[in-house]
Structure 1
Amino acid sequence: GINLHPSLLPKYRGSAPIPWAIIKGEKETGNSIIKIDEGVDSGPIILQERIEIKPEDTARSLSERMAEEGASLLLKAFSLFKEKRAELRTQNDAEATFAPKLKKSDGLINWKREAVEIHNLVRGLAPWPSAYTYLEDKCLKIWESEIKQEGGKPGEILEANKDQLLIACGKGSLLIKSLQREGKRRMAANEFLRGHPLKKNFEFRI
């Protein structure tokens, strides 16, 4: 049989290739059609197609786009087999990387990391399990963010006015655009701050 895998194999073998490609900061990924063998996503490649990872992409938006592209790639592969024109290319196992199944703990933000890394985590883990931090022992999911250059102590709130929530990272800072407190609905940062005033210099747990 044949299989559609949403990565440019041999990169990102495993069950969560789309989130991990975003988390790792890749600028492109793609679909691979492979012949199934005994290994995990290690069979010979029949067709591949590159797909750009846009700066605003989340795991959800990229998954939707890749599913559409993948369906047409599968049809091409079936045609090649029908016409006996399919050419198989062996994967180079030395170049293989892995994309293990996501766990909720993958989403815990370490504010000592660079802003770009945390931003990619936010994008890659939307919608599940989502990137999160803790506010007064309550889980606070971060849904949308933007990279900024201002610096400070990692986890420290640099701005918490009615317009913006800015948190310092290991390098740069993260502007939080939408978030969700445990047991509450998702909301824009300015709406959240009206109901949960935060003080400048407050520090999130690292």
Structure 2
Amino acid sequence: MGITLQSDKLIVCAYHNVGYRCIEELLRQGADIALIFTHEDSPTEEIWFKSVRELADRHGIPYLTTDISLPENVDRVRAIAPAFLFSFYYRNMIKPAVLEIPKQGAFNLHGSYLPKYRGRVPVNWAVINGESETGATLHHMVEKPDAGAIVDQERVDIAFTDTAFDVFNKITDAAVAVMARAWPQLREGRAACIPMNLAEGAYFGGRKPADGKIDWQQSALRIYNLVRGVTHPYPGAFSHLDGRKVVIWSAWPVEGSGEPGRIVSHRPLLVGTGEGLLEVRSLQAEGGDEVTAADFMTIDEQFT
């Protein structure tokens, strides 16, 4: 029996809260999602976000957790012959053989105001680098990551007190707003297509837990930005004290001076940096529970 081709069908690659919420928005607008590609949850990752698989099950949408670019999956995509392909926080690179299939285009929702912060973990990088704003961008997918023409964007502010988790939640809302505007325009063939000037931004790679190690020679401000950029639900910024790894979950930069890494006060817990002091507010020694600085006991006076 032959396969009936449907020109109005979508295929969606999605994971995480952005994937979950953007699929919800497409369904709210009546989109016909034929197939979802998503991921198995990693046993080494803290799963604090909503499940795209559960959403697919609830709406009776078929899904696969194998890579969309595998030959058998490319054949599946060709058989469905979708009008559009969307990628919402899908973690695998989608090969050109897939991108060329949807007749009306393949689009990615990226968690930054492109062309700034192309690449991996853009929210964490924006906070770590002390940015005051970022955003969500829907753009055409091309072989080069996060480089295709822009369809729509939404800016979000980054408050000085925001953690990466706070900013991620703002970007999730912005992503939904972008999709709410863009989907009708894409469907009707009147969406914007603004070339991206890559010279106005840069590409950033992924981060590993080891990248959270604190360099006390840096300023208190830069260390503070690292702390809030990788605090819960991420692995955290860390140093060593009393021969143990200590994760600093919450901190604040203050004026003053002290030898980098040396504790200059216990109440409040102030540590010297390359410029200014870092007030440590909550922390967790390896093998222990997270505690406030007032409850933290140490016999050593030097973070390394």
TM-score where L is the length of structure 2: 0.63
**In 1, are the aligned partners of 2:118 and 2:145 still within 8 Å (CA)?**
yes
Aligned to 2:293: 189
Q: Sequence identity of aligned pairs in percent? A: 36
Q: Which blocks of at least 5 consecutive residues in structure 2 are unaligned?
A: 1-105
Aligned to 2:243: 137
Is the counterpart of residue 86 in structure 1 residue 191 in structure 2? Answer: yes
Q: CA deviation at 1:99?
A: 2.3
Tell me how far apart the structure 1 counterparts of residues 275 and 230 of structure 2 sit (CA, whole Å). 21
Q: CA deviation at 1:79?
A: 1.3
Q: CA deviation at 1:137?
A: 2.1
Tell me how far apart the structure 1 counterparts of residues 263 and 242 of structure 2 sit (CA, whole Å). 14
Residue type of the alignment partner of 2:303 = F
Q: CA deviation at 1:123?
A: 0.6
Tell me how far apart the structure 2 counterparts of residues 59 and 5 of structure 1 sit (CA, whole Å). 15
Work out which of the residue numbers 16, 23, 26 in structure 1 matches 2:131.
Answer: 26
Residue type of the alignment partner of 2:126 = A
What are the within-5 Å matches in structure 2 for residues 8-27 of structure 1?
A: 8-27=113-132
Q: CA deviation at 1:129?
A: 2.5
Comparing 75-84 with 172-181, greater Cα deviation is found at 75-84
Q: CA deviation at 1:72?
A: 2.1
Aligned to 1:104: 209
**1:12–1:107 CA distance, 2 compared to 1 (3 A):** same
Tell me how far apart the structure 1 counterparts of residues 137 and 291 of structure 2 sit (CA, whole Å). 37
Aligned to 1:204: 303
Work out which of the residue numbers 158, 178, 199 in structure 2 matches 1:53.
Answer: 158
Structure of greater relative contact order (alpha carbons < 8 Å, 6+ residues apart): 1
Q: CA deviation at 1:132?
A: 0.3
Q: Which blocks of at least 5 consecutive residues in structure 1 are unaligned?
A: none
Is the counterpart of residue 175 in structure 1 residue 274 in structure 2? Answer: no
Comparing 83-92 with 38-47, greater Cα deviation is found at 83-92
- SS of residue in 1 equivalent to 2:118: coil
Aligned to 1:165: 269
Q: CA deviation at 1:198?
A: 4.4
**Runs of 4+, deviation exceeding 2 Å:** none
Q: CA deviation at 1:186?
A: 1.2
TM-score where L is the length of structure 1: 0.92
Tell me how far apart the structure 2 counterparts of residues 141 and 62 of structure 1 sit (CA, whole Å). 21
Tell me how far apart the structure 2 counterparts of residues 116 and 198 of structure 1 sit (CA, whole Å). 26
How many aligned positions are there?
A: 198
- SS of residue in 1 equivalent to 2:249: strand
Work out which of the residue numbers 205, 208, 218 in structure 2 matches 1:113.
Answer: 218
Residue type of the alignment partner of 1:97 = A
- SS of residue in 1 equivalent to 2:154: strand
Tell me how far apart the structure 1 counterparts of residues 260 and 284 of structure 2 sit (CA, whole Å). 21
Tell me how far apart the structure 1 counterparts of residues 230 and 117 of structure 2 sit (CA, whole Å). 16
**In 2, are the aligned partners of 1:160 and 1:198 still within 8 Å (CA)?**
no
For the pair shown, which has the larger CA radius of gyration, 1 or 2? 2
